[in-house]
Structure 1
Amino acid sequence: MIVGTAGHIDHGKTTLVKALTGTDADRLKEEKQRGITIDLGFAYARFADDAITGFIDVPGHERFIHTMLAGAGGIDYALLVVAADDGIKPQTLEHLAILDLLGVSRGLVCITKADLADPARLQTLSAEIHALLAPTSLKDVEILPVSAATGDGIDALKTRLADAERATTAASADGRFRLSVDRSFTLSGAGTVVTGTVLSGSVAVGDRVTVSPSGLSARIRSIHAQNQQTERGFAGQRCALNLAGESISKDAVGRGDMVLDPVLHAPTTRIDVELSVLDSEPKPLGDWFSARFHHASAETGARIVPLEGPVAPGSRGKVQLVLDQPIAATVGDRFILRDVSAQRTIGGGRLIDLRAPLRKRRTPERLGLLDAAAHPDAGRALRAMLDTAPFLVDLQAFAQDRALSEAQLQAAIRFADAEMVESPSGRHALSRENRQRFSSEVHNLLETFHADNPDLQGMGRERLRLQVTPRLPAPAFLTALRAEQAAGTVALEGAFARLPGHEVRLNAQEEALYNQILPFLQGENRFRPLRVRDFAEQLGVDEREIRRVLKLCARLGRLDQIRHDHFFTRQTTAEMVAIIRDVAAKTQRGEFTAALFRDRVNNGRKVAIEILEFFDRQGVTIRRGDLRRINPHRLDLYDAASESTAGALSVKD
């Protein structure tokens, strides 16, 4: 359990921690000289069996609220301190407001210096504190008078802390590892050490981690958890990590950084959040209101963009935060906003979307998606998002933004009863209803297209993709179409899709003419076929008729029209793609010239360039100057034809 102190300056927080643990949490020379806490202090004690309770002692001075916030983000239990002789003071109120905004509901109020007050004063102050706590998350906590000077109430406080320690549910270590850094220093003989609270997951000696947002890579050399050396640190513990890695130093890693599982490294500067504004604010928060943003141990400037109109004092609303510096965060994390002069706390809330859009951020669809994503439970959030436009969830982003392990992601998918489409672009989830809707829309769109275009072989895949809901990324869409093809509901032919029963046929006269032409497009001369006008001369048929039949065959997927007068069979086109792949594979960087291709197909330079320009238009090749390279994302256009021409690379070099 991690206990965090809170309360006004000089109300005895550090003295109370020392009475409980025997450790003076004030470690800085200036703290000793001035008698006040300036930076975070740490101490440990055993109250319950073998469990170790960690304490984070925070400054009480208003000038150091930003430091208090750096330590308050990861606490399990709040120890709010109010001095009997001084009573409730401004920082008492602000610290309590911060604990409430952070959602801290477990804790205890200690009336310190109880030896300086009579019973009547203690009773009056207790009543005032009860009234103060009533509207907050700490409304049900106990109030206990104590005195570090006389020892009165200290044993009772230790008993309460022991009970709280036993009642603390171990934080789940199933998620991915995150540690919020609050201190960085160098130890002689060890190197760079960072300390902080483990927010999720676990880490072991030897693990590779990333320091975010900088992106530095490091290895864990050793771990101290709750002030004891160990092989593994877990969520809910304070840990010291000895880091090793290129560029790792105490100056390169510091307060505000996050040490995390490399999978989670995705810094962000634009976040959609749910913001609660304190009723002490003088006016509503409008567009581009400036503030200081505090998250875990990080602090940066922020601009507020309300998504549902200005957020009034004492109310809650969705806003977009535009940060001055990137941070590492997770959906559901709590944050605090203070004014730019660091005089007051404005409000706080929860992070909802770490990939907030710059445009269309206020549309009803966008706000509906934020409502769905706001569910704290991953499974419920996924189910709600799948039922909200755009009815599609990128599972990699979903898991990354919530620090979910693969096991947790699979549990969320099962809870949401989602169907997954896995492709080179990643994994995407749809609800079962929308997966069925996808199949129905594909069938209906193709049916309508065939009715309107009976002479065309099918509908272009990309055109079809843009009309189907949910709109899948191109690689995922192809995967889904292939599943439809396997089920016998769709037929794929290169870049076209059609219904299995649809077939454009040549009449007998057209078929006869095509059969006369076909031999000239095959065999040894398949890479150097005759032009349309040559066919007209050879066969004694009108050139316009030959071109019409050849274009009709291209629509049927039998041929490809490379240029105005040049047609190749689909099998030959696929064979040329295979040759291009082979040519590219034999070059140092996968880049090749037109001459290399020309030599393999043994035709003229002009025809070779026409062929390559055709593949450029198809997206199969990408040209840069005189060099070309393969685009692996478009090779599927000729997969089916390639299978029927296996072994076609017998063309001589």
Structure 2
Amino acid sequence: MIVGTAGHIDHGKTALVKALTGVDADRLKEEKARGITIDLGYAYSDLGDGRQLGFVDVPGHERFVHNMLAGATGIDAALLIVSAAEGIKPQTVEHLQIVDLLGLDRGIVALTKADLADDDLLLERMAEIEALLEPTSLRGAEIMPVSAITGRGIDELKAGLLALGESGKGVTGFARLAVDRCFVLSGAGVVVTGTVHAGEIRVDDRLLLTPSGLEARVRSLHAQNRAAEIGRAGERCALNLAGPRLSKDAVRRGDWVVSPELHAPTDRLDVRLKLLASEEQPLKHWSPAHVHLGSAHVMGRVALLEGERLAPGETAMAQLVLDEKVGALAGDRVILRDPSALRTIGGASVIDPFGPPRNRRAPRRLAELAALGEPDPVALDRLLSLDSGFVETARFGLTRNLRPVDVAALLEAADGTSLDGYGFHAATMAAARQDIVDTLKAHHEARPDTPGLQPERLRLALARRWPVPVFKALIDQEVGAKTVLVDGPFLRLRGHSLKLGSRDEALWQKIAAELDRDRYRPPRVRDFASTHGVPEPEMRKLLQRLAKVGRVVEVAPDQYFLRPVVAEMIGIAHAFGREFTAAEFRDKLDNGRKVAIQILEFFDRHGITVRRGDLRRTVPQKLQQFGPTAPEAAAAAAT
């Protein structure tokens, strides 16, 4: 377990840590000279029975609260220190506020310098402290008089800290360590230290630094000040890292060392924000603030999502828009300080680390945030029940540091099913599938003379309007099950086909024969109209309908080719195997320069060919737009 000290300057934090561990946590020359803690100090108490307490000694001076916060966000329990001689002071209050905002509910109050106070004063101080703790997360915490000079209460304090229990940080997720120090060790290289917030880190693991994305391999590590092969959640670790671009200057306090799966820097955090009751003025929308998360410290603005002002003591949804990207996950605690960094103004719990830049106040988004604010199983179930009807399983797992197997188990427990990275309630999935069938069936009945619906029109016609990627996954499922068939650019139910009237069907058979006969130089609309004695507008309308179902392709105005012939001509162009001229293409088709140019311009518009001056070349990725090119047949035709 990691214990963090908290309290006013010169109330004896460092001396008490030394009495508990035998280690002087003040490591800087400036600290020795001035007699105060400036930066974070660390010490460990080996109890000889396999148990060990780690201590983070934080500065008590108001000027170094940012350093205090870098250490406080990784601790499991708080050791609030109050001098029996001086009592409660400003930094006692602010540090307690920070402990409360971090949600720490395990802790002990050490009433230090007990050798300087009589029993009556000690009782008076204890009463004052109880009143101070009452509205906070440390309400009811034990208060122990101690003296680092005489040793009074030290053993009892150590036993009390052990009784608080081990770290509650989980080891099931991916690895995540908040960097609070970085230095170069002679003969070893770059070393970073910090608290492991989740998962396990092993020697030879390949990790990433967030937000920079630098690669790092763990050459060796120390956990709780001992050489080890594994560092686990809840332990302080020192990692000796190596990487192609890694250097001391490339790493800074506030970075995270994470498994590659967790590398997702962000600058928009949707949070549940609490403004301290001690604030004199409401917090306005878009107020600037110092933002502390993990060991990071960045500037940002508070975008309120439920009104324009937040009253002191109140809680509301907000989005923190940061000036720099950070690493963050759901459940992380954030501390806010005023723009001048003179006082703590509030705190927050991250609900969604990847907040949207638009529609962040929309009722649909607020409902989603309300669901995300619940524990894992409840959150997933509530998300699946929202109007959206689905969850991106990978994103849900990332925001909460859940492995895919854990997300799958949660989805199963919620009576859900998975499809191409999306989760649905089983009932929602069944309804979606039936909706697709019913909508297509209704269209077929109303418009039997059409082949079906284009995908986007079908999506917009459904009872529930799915986002495009989700709709595609649903349609791919139906196509795979052969419930829905793809007919050119249209989707239709099995058994449905375009029904032409007997007159139109007979006319189409004649036209198709002529298009096949003159495959590379087909007649135009007016030619068909004249040949078959049909008004030109009527003939044009018929060919347009046939083009919609993919039987023919309008290559130029009123110039239609059979779809397989278009694919064949693409194959002929590709068979050159090099850049070619319009004249060369014309000669292969033997259809005249004007028609050859129209065909090539059609290819250009669809990205099938790329033109450079008088030369063109085919684009391999675009060859299948109108069906298989049948390269063997095309090569034969080309020769």
Q: Same fold (TM over 0.5)?
A: yes
Cα 1:596–1:32 change in 2 (3 A) is farther
Letter in 1 for 2:511: I
Cα deviation, residue 474, structure 1 = 3.6
Which of 492, 496, 499 is equivalent to 2:490? 496
SS of 2:284 mapped into structure 1: coil
Q: 1:145 to 1:601 in 2, by over 3 A?
A: farther
> What SS does structure 2 have at the residue aligned with 1:206?
coil
Q: Which residue of 1 aligns with 2:561?
A: 568
1:275-294 matches, within 5 Å, as 275-294=273-292
> Partner residue of 1:157?
157
Q: 1:81 aligns to what SS in structure 2?
A: strand
Structure 1: how far apart are the matches of 2:111 and 2:526?
102
Match of 2:175 in 1: 177
Query: In the alignment, is the contact (CA less than 8 A) between 1:220 and 1:242 conserved in 2?
Result: yes
Q: How does 1:504-519 map to 2 (within 5 A)?
A: 504-519=498-513
- 2:88 matched residue in structure 1: 88
Q: CA deviation at 1:536?
A: 5.5
Is this contact kept in 2: 1:579–1:600, CA < 8 A? Answer: no
Tell me which amino acid in the other structure corresponds to 2:57. Answer: D
Please, which moves more after superposition, 317-326 or 436-445? 436-445
Structure-2 change in CA distance of 1:545 and 1:368 (3 Å): closer
Cα deviations by residue, 1:339-372 (Å, 9 ceiling, x for unpaired): 1112111010111122222332222112111101
1: distance between equivalents of 2:623 and 2:301? 45
Equivalent-residue separation in structure 1 for 2:270 and 2:584 (angstroms): 52
One of 157, 173, 188 as aligned partner of 1:190: 188
Deviations 1:209-255 (A, max 9, x none): 22111222222221111111222222111111112123311111010
Which residue of 1 is the match for residue 248 of structure 2?
250
For the pair 1:462 / 2:456, whether they are aligned, the reply is yes
After TM superposition, the structure 1 = structure 2 runs for residues 20-39 of structure 1, keeping only pairs within 5 Å, are 20-39=20-39
Distance 2:208 2:580 in 1: 41
Task: Kindly state the Cα deviation for residue 409 of structure 1 after the two structures are TM-superposed.
Answer: 2.1
Q: How far has the Cα of 1:432 moved from its partner?
A: 2.2
Report matched runs for 1:322-333 at 5 Å. 322-333=321-332
Aligned residue runs from structure 1 range 162-561, under 5 A: 162-164=162-164, 167-168=165-166, 171-309=169-307, 310-375=309-374, 377-422=375-420, 427-468=421-462, 471-522=465-516, 526-535=519-528, 544=537, 546-561=539-554
Aligned 8 A contact 1:601 1:651 in 2? no
The one-letter code sitting in structure 2 at the alignment partner of 1:557 is G
Call closer, same or farther: CA 1:600–1:85 in 2, change over 3 Å: farther
Q: TM-score, normalised by structure 1?
A: 0.89
The within-5 A match list for 1:618-633 is: none
* Mapped contact 2:383–2:390 kept (Cα < 8 A): yes
- Closer, same or farther: CA 48–247 of 1 in aligned 2, 3 Å: same
Contact 2:489 2:549 in 1 (8 A): no
Residue of structure 2 equivalent to 1:126: 126
Counterpart amino acid of residue 182 in structure 2: S
Structure 1 residue 315, shift from structure 2 partner: 0.7
Residue 63 (structure 1) shift? 0.7
CA deviation after TM superposition for structure 1 residue 484, in Å: 2.1
Partners of 1:512 and 1:607 in 2: CA distance:
28
**Contact kept? 1:622, 1:631, Cα under 8 Å:** no
2:384 aligned partner, one-letter code: L
CA drift of 1:450 comes to 3.5
- Hey, what does 2:13 align to over in structure 1? 13
* Offset of residue 579 of structure 1: 7.3
SS of 1:251 mapped into structure 2: helix
Instruction: Measure how far apart 1:297 and its partner are.
Output: 0.5
What residue identity is the alignment partner of 2:49? D
Task: Kindly state the Cα deviation for residue 466 of structure 1 after the two structures are TM-superposed.
Answer: 3.5
Q: Deviations over 1:170-214 (max 9, x none)?
A: 632221121111001011111111111111112222222221112
> Contact 2:488/2:549 (CA < 8 Å) preserved in 1?
no
Kept after mapping to 2: 8 A contact 1:380/1:415: no
User: What's the CA shift for 1:470?
Assistant: 5.0
SS in structure 1 of the partner of residue 128 of structure 2: helix
Q: Kindly tell me: are residues 454 and 528 of structure 1, through their superposed partners in 2, closer, same or farther at Cα, counting changes over 3 Å?
A: same
Q: Distance in 1 between matches of 2:136 and 2:543?
A: 78
Cα pair distance change 1:140/1:414, threshold 3 Å: farther
Task: List per-residue Cα deviations over 1:302-333 (Å, max 9, x = no partner).
Answer: 11121111110011011121111111111111
Q: Which moved more, 1:396-405 or 1:274-283?
A: 396-405
Contact 1:597 1:608 in 2 (8 A): no
SS at match of 2:98: helix
What one-letter code is carried by the residue in structure 2 that aligns with 1:101?
L
Give 1:129 shift: 1.3
* Mapped partners of 1:593, 1:240: distance in 2: 64
The letter of the residue matching 1:76 is: D
Q: CA deviation at 1:614?
A: 4.9
- Given residue 364 of structure 1, which amino acid in structure 2 is its aligned partner? P
Structure 1 residue 564, shift from structure 2 partner:
2.4
Question: Does structure 1 conserve the Cα–Cα contact (< 8 Å) formed by 2:610 and 2:619?
Answer: no
Structure 1 pair 160–611 and aligned structure 2 pair: CA distance change class (3 A): farther
TM-score normalised by L of structure 2 = 0.91
Relative to structure 1, the CA distance from residue 428 to residue 620 in structure 2 (aligned partners, 3 Å threshold; closer, same or farther) is: farther
Over aligned residues, Cα RMSD in angstroms?
A: 3.1
Q: Deviation per CA, 1:410-437, whole angstroms, max 9, x where unpaired?
A: 2232233322221xxxx12222232233
- Cα distance in 1 between the residues matched to 2:407 and 2:159: 39
Taking every aligned residue pair, what percent have the same amino acid on both sides? 49
Instruction: Rate the CA distance shift 1:612–1:107 in 2: closer, same or farther, 3 A.
Output: farther
Q: Which moved more, 1:563-572 or 1:593-602?
A: 593-602
| CA distance in 2: counterparts of 1:24 and 1:249, whole angstroms | 29
How many Å apart are 1:43 and its aligned residue? 0.9
Of 54-63 and 43-52, more deviation after overlay is shown by 43-52
Do the aligned residues in 2 keep the contact of 1:369 with 1:389 (CA within 8 Å)? no
How far off is 1:506 after superposition? 2.3
Judged with a 3 Å threshold, the aligned counterparts in structure 2 of structure 1 residues 275 and 63 are, in CA distance, closer, same or farther, namely: same
Pair 1:365–1:478, CA change in 2 (3 A): closer
SS in 2 for 1:413: helix
The verdict on how the C-alpha distance between 1:94 and 1:579 changes in structure 2, with shifts beyond 3 A counting, is farther
Deviations, residues 115-136 of structure 1 (Å, cap 9, x unaligned): 1111121122112211211111
Counterpart contact for 1:82–1:112, Cα < 8 Å = yes
Shift of 1:648: 5.6
Which residues of structure 1 form unaligned runs of 5+? none
In 1, the alpha carbon distance for the partners of 2:179 and 2:580 equals 53
2:283 aligned counterpart, secondary structure: coil
Q: CA deviation at 1:488?
A: 5.0
- Following superposition, the deviation at residue 631 of structure 1 comes to 9.7
* Paired residue type of 1:379: P
Measured against aligned partners, the alpha-carbon deviations of 1:384-443 in whole angstroms (never above 9, x if no partner) come to: 112223223222222222222222222232233322221xxxx12222232233223323
- Residues 572 and 635, structure 2, Cα contact 8 Å, conserved in 1: no
Aligned pair count reads 634
The answer to whether 1:106 aligns with 2:99 is no
* Cα separation, partners in 2 of 1:296 and 1:621, compared to 1, 3 Å: farther
